[in-house]
Structure 1
Amino acid sequence: MSALLPPSSLAVPEALQQPVWPDPEALRTVRERLRTALPLVLPTECDVLRRRLAAVAAGKAFVLQGGDCAETFRDLSLGTVSRKMDTLFGTADELSEAMFLPVVVVARLAGQYAKPRSQPVETRDGVTLPSYRGDAVNGPEFTAEARTPDPHRMLQVYAAAGATLNAVRSLLTERRTALGQREMFVSHEALLLDYERPLTRPDARTGDSYAGSGHLLWVGERTRQTDGAHIEYLSRIRNPVAVKVGPTATPAEVLALVERLDPDREPGRLTLVARMGADRVRDALPPLVESVAAAGGQVVWICDPMHGNTYNAPSGHKTRHFDAVLDEVTGFFEVHRSLGTHAGGLHLEMTGEEVTECVGAGVAPADLPLRYETACDPRLNRSQTLELARLVGELATPVAG
């Protein structure tokens, strides 16, 4: 790994899905403030997660990654964080008991404030404004003021992430006292490079660069180009990293990602998150898994059953059906079982609240308007998440220690 990364976008390839900041001087000021701020997570914590993920890669553990599609400043509260943690740990306990495996809990938390968008602009009633890219960039209200990208929001993200991590660590201490040892790591999509690069620091022990914004960072389907800026960034940090791959990914593309991000074939270094869709997973996933295994890849394979199963309900709400989510997970396990490889985990957009955003498992299409609260994509509610864990536990073949 290289030492400290360049603080600006000048030294790396093209970065896709970046906002057009209207005030370059304000952006420089924000970058400098982030560059001198304390890291939110420590290299030693990232090393612990890498060891936990190495056990997953070896088939000796399972990983549960979950949380909001996009965190928002308005929903930041101790109660929200606590309920999300309770749901994640309850889900992990259900999976662990069924699989006879330890479950590594990685939350989409304390940094998931930016989102890629299919279109850079949105038009309503003849008015065109920049798309909402998450609270790290602009506001969801459809006004010129709210939708103008503001780099100062990245400082709000840093403060909100720090407050969230303080709450997580305090709640973990309570749970250790009451329930025994508990661990939870935080992750988010490394989308805004103007936020990630200034928070990347060399470790005094080794000189390796670590992202200080989260324990695990991932790159999404839209920004996983092997010669792109996001993969370049991941290749130069020591944190465990992940990449999402969809149904159009080819074995050659996935192998190129493995070579770029994990040339030493280090267990726990690289996670591949399959987001295929229920109707594609059984056909699209096997060639990828087979090619990585043949090349000696020691990766963690995780199923994201959310993003490939989105549709618009008659009410106009973007939603997902619980049955399709479960079917994709079922197909994911079937593929790995047929190939003799390890189905390593789940990546869920979920919440600890009883929202009505995904239909099925207790939520009817007519219920969608009742508590449709997401800032972007629909999430499983608490009850649906726990029900999915119960059903996934039935799918999994117990692995003897």
Structure 2
Amino acid sequence: MNDWTPDSWRSKQATQQVSYPDDEALAKVLDEIACLPPLVTSWEVETLKAKLAQAGRGEAFLLQGGDCAESFDDCRADIITAKLKILLQMSLVLVHGTRKPVIRVARMAGQYAKPRSKTTETRNGETLPTYRGDLFNRHGFTSAERIPDPQLMLRGYERAALTLNFIRALADGGFADLHHPEYWKLDFADAAHHGQEYEQIVNSIREAIDFVQVVGGELPGLQRVDFYTSHEALALNYELAQTRKVPRRPGWYNLSTHLPWIGMRTAQVDGAHVEYCRGIRNPIGVKVGPGMSPEWLLELIELLSPEGEPGRLVLIHRLGADAIAEHLPGLIEAVRGTGKPVTWVSDPMHGNTETTAEGIKTRHFDKILSELQQAFEIHASMGSVLGGVHFELTGEDVTECVGGASGLAAADLGRAYRSRVDPRLNYEQSLEMALLIARAARRARG
């Protein structure tokens, strides 16, 4: 690690970046961000790392979820609260079903950039640079809005800080009090197909809490829960500006988020993103798609976790319902051969994206569920542990993914399709998915 510095990635090929028209303006913004307070702390990062190690051993379960790409416009109390509510509801269901502590990691407060497969977009004969997320450029289809603007990184930092401040205020103020999980419900979801089953779980947990308190008094930790944040470490200049040393801890931390991850498009072993992530002390996620060979994955493990620290590496496989059975067993076997602990997580969203006849991107609930069920079965059959799930979801009443108990069809997508990039599970689909996972966990326990 002696050859690593926070900016040693500059000597590598950096894909999925943008060219800013004014280098001086870029440097000024990065200097300003570097002087601002960190968004997270090193002790939060280390605490999460320890919990992820537990998930890797099957002693806890990771629930990672949130927007495909956050929008600055969504930095609003109602939208943030709705995201926390669905994560809380899902985690409560998973705790009840798995009988394990659930680690809540939100794709929030920093998921403002997205990798894109095309560098340009054409509409009505006009071609402009692709929208790459609010951290890079603007969504509107004009030349001025698509020019990369370094000021957006400063605005992204500010939006992330406001979001985190509100999340922490809610968490510390009793919003997540297990005595009152009924407060987490969303008004529009009162008639949800799985509302009654969720109410039964809530009542069961409330009765258990009441019983234990009668016997042994007030239990600590029921009034609040811990939330952690995650985002793809895509915009390397933005990540660099928040990479710091801290007192009484060795090494460097990315203090813009607790859990940064590397996507498939930027996971080249000789690339800038892997170079940057190998030197920071945070736990690191790696998206593993069907195009990643066991040999490629082993090289990444050696670079990113040379010492095999538990909780350091989170392998998020996103293989697709039709390909997971072919690819996952070989990957599990190869990783097992290293002797290094990892935390396996299933992302059943990204391998199951499809396009309707009208050109709308969507995902089918049944495909998402199929990949997830296969992931549990394959890990169990190979003596491996699936330590968590990774969803793109929202607490809003959107219509972006088809299927589920409500029978959402392709014709319904136009009612409330709000995502700027990829489709998300809505509130009802997310809760249904958690209930199905919990049922499977109960069956596995016998």
1:205 to 239, 242, 248: 248
Q: What CA distance in whole angstroms lies between the structure 2 residues aligned with 1:211 and 1:86?
A: 27
Pairwise CA distance, 1:3: 10
Pairwise CA distance, 1:314: 2.2
Residue 390 of structure 2 aligns to a residue in which SS?
strand
Match for residue 25 of structure 2? 26
Match for residue 63 of structure 1? 62
1:246 to 279, 284, 289: 289
Match for residue 382 of structure 1? 427
2:258 to 208, 211, 215: 215
Match for residue 287 of structure 1? 330
Pairwise CA distance, 1:34: 1.3
The residue type paired with residue 143 of structure 1 is: T
Match for residue 98 of structure 2? 99
Distance 1:398 1:210, change over 3 A: farther
Distance 1:169 1:398, change over 3 A: farther
Q: What CA distance in whole angstroms lies between the structure 1 residues aligned with 2:2 and 2:137?
A: 32
Match for residue 195 of structure 2? none
Q: What CA distance in whole angstroms lies between the structure 1 residues aligned with 2:288 and 2:295?
A: 12
The residue type paired with residue 240 of structure 1 is: P
Residue 386 of structure 2 aligns to a residue in which SS?
coil
Match for residue 194 of structure 1? 237
2:133 paired with 1:134: yes
Number of residues paired by the alignment?
A: 399
Residue 266 of structure 1 aligns to a residue in which SS?
coil
Contact 1:99–1:398 (8 Å) recurs in 2: no
2:212 paired with 1:184: no
Q: What CA distance in whole angstroms lies between the structure 2 residues aligned with 1:8 and 1:266?
A: 23
Which structure's CA Rg is the greater one? 2
Structure 2 residue ranges without an equivalent (≥5): 179-221
Match for residue 270 of structure 2? 227
What pairs with 1:76-95 in structure 2 (closer than 5 Å)? 76-95=75-94
Match for residue 394 of structure 1? 439
Match for residue 146 of structure 1? 145
Per-residue deviation, residues 265-287 of structure 1 (Å, max 9, x unmatched): 11101000000000001111110
Contact 1:99–1:399 (8 Å) recurs in 2: no
Match for residue 112 of structure 2? 113
The residue type paired with residue 355 of structure 2 is: N
Match for residue 53 of structure 1? 52
Match for residue 236 of structure 1? 279
Match for residue 370 of structure 1? 415
Residue 37 of structure 2 aligns to a residue in which SS?
coil
Distance 1:359 1:58, change over 3 A: same
Pairwise CA distance, 1:394: 2.1
Pairwise CA distance, 1:397: 6.0
Distance 1:8 1:123, change over 3 A: farther
Match for residue 218 of structure 2? none
Q: What CA distance in whole angstroms lies between the structure 2 residues aligned with 1:2 and 1:69?
A: 36
Match for residue 348 of structure 1? 391
The residue type paired with residue 67 of structure 1 is: G
Structure 1 residue ranges without an equivalent (≥5): none
Residue 191 of structure 1 aligns to a residue in which SS?
coil
Structure 2 length-normalised TM: 0.87
- Cα RMSD for the two superposed structures: 1.6
2:368 to 322, 325, 350: 325
Pairwise CA distance, 1:8: 8.2
Higher mean displacement: 182-191 or 16-25: 16-25
Structure 1 length-normalised TM: 0.96
Distance 1:360 1:334, change over 3 A: same
* Residue identity (%): 47
Contact 2:232–2:261 (8 Å) recurs in 1: yes
Per-residue deviation, residues 288-314 of structure 1 (Å, max 9, x unmatched): 011101211210000111111111112
Pairwise CA distance, 1:331: 1.0
